[in-house]
Amino acid sequence: MLQERLIGVKNLLEKAMKRRKFIKGITSLAGLALTTGFYSYRIEPFWLEFVKIKMPIKNLPKNLIGLSLMQISDLHIGNRFDYSFIIDSFAKAREYQPDFVVYTGDFIHYEDFNQLDQLREIFKNPVKGKLGTIGILGNHDYGKNWAENKLANSVVKVLNDSGVTMLRNEQKEIKGFNFIGFDDYWATNFHPNKVMKLYDPKKANIVLAHNPDVCDLDIWNNYKGWILSGHTHGGQVKPPFLKPPMLPVKNKKYTAGKIDLPNERIVYINRALGHLWQVRFNVRPEITVFELVEG
């Protein structure tokens, strides 16, 4: 009888220990989830990284060797997050004193025309290159359904007035460096052949194209060189050892960073400075600083 009671007590103790371990495990998981959620919402979206990369350019003039080109992409100025972060990031970027600056689209996240006022406020003090500042539009700069041409034209005017030379299927040569800028792939004014038929392989060229899916189109006229894109934000959330679960591109290899392409092309996909939603995990916001070298 005594032995049976002892066995019963032992079983109760074992069950209690298992229950405590279970509760402790659940509590630990809940704590981890809260910590990860706080980090993803309040820390990483505002933890800017300056990424430094060498950029070999064919036919680069000798006087441009060693100079810097800064890429800023996907600001998404609007009401989704505190865009004072953009203002603070611009201040940090200006300290680099870049020689060239390129903006690769999605300046605003359109809800109403207040975003134009917000854009004007921020671009009172833009990041500008000592030699030149170039920009292109992204899909969000075209508003609803990427089809509001009046809005896109207004965005362009604000930026041109602030000293950013906007290219819309056009090219602009500055100090022997030729910038080729596409309008947005998803919007209403995507006509890359208009400018690529003028491509001169003897120049020091670089292409700006917001959406990296354009790399797979038959538009390149044997172009060889760099293509700077944005659009993906690197997925914003990337589980360790896995691909980002959501990417707004057809070709899912276009996530972030430098990717070698056929025919001696290279695309670099910036992870974005702003964000559509205030959440990032393992994908910090980025400003890229390229050092121009002989190709």
Q: How far apart are CA 159 and CA 17, in angstroms?
A: 65
pLDDT tens column, 78-129: 998 889 999 999 999 999 999 999 999 999 999 988 999 999 999 999 999 9
Q: How far apart are CA 228 and CA 182, in angstroms?
A: 11
Q: How far apart are CA 147 and CA 266, in angstroms?
A: 29
- Look at the block and give the residue holding tokens 């819309």: 168
If pLDDT is split at 50, 70 and 90, which confidence band does 9 have?
very low
| Residue 202, C-beta contacts closer than 8 angstroms, at least 6 positions apart | 59
Q: How far apart are CA 44 and CA 61, in angstroms?
A: 39
Q: Retrieve residue 211's tokens.
A: 């959406």
Q: Please determine, for residue 19, whether its predicted confidence score (pLDDT) is greater than 70.
A: no
| Residue 151, C-beta contacts closer than 8 angstroms, at least 6 positions apart | 110, 113, 141, 142, 143
| Residue 153, C-beta contacts closer than 8 angstroms, at least 6 positions apart | none
pLDDT tens column, 240-279: 878 888 899 999 999 999 999 999 999 999 999 999 889 9
Q: Please determine, for residue 176, whether its predicted confidence score (pLDDT) is greater than 50.
A: yes
Amino acid at 212: P
Cα dist from 159 to 116, 124, 248, whole Å: 10, 10, 25
Q: What is the CA radius of gyration of the chain?
A: 24
* Of the candidates 138, 185, 190, the residue with the CA atom closest to the CA atom of residue 159: 138
pLDDT tens column, 60-76: 999 999 999 999 999 99
pTM of the predicted structure, to 2 decimals: 0.88
How many residues are given for the chain? 295
* Of the candidates 142, 136, 82, the residue with the CA atom closest to the CA atom of residue 109: 142
Contact between residue 289 and residue 50 where contact means Cβ atoms under 8 Å apart: yes
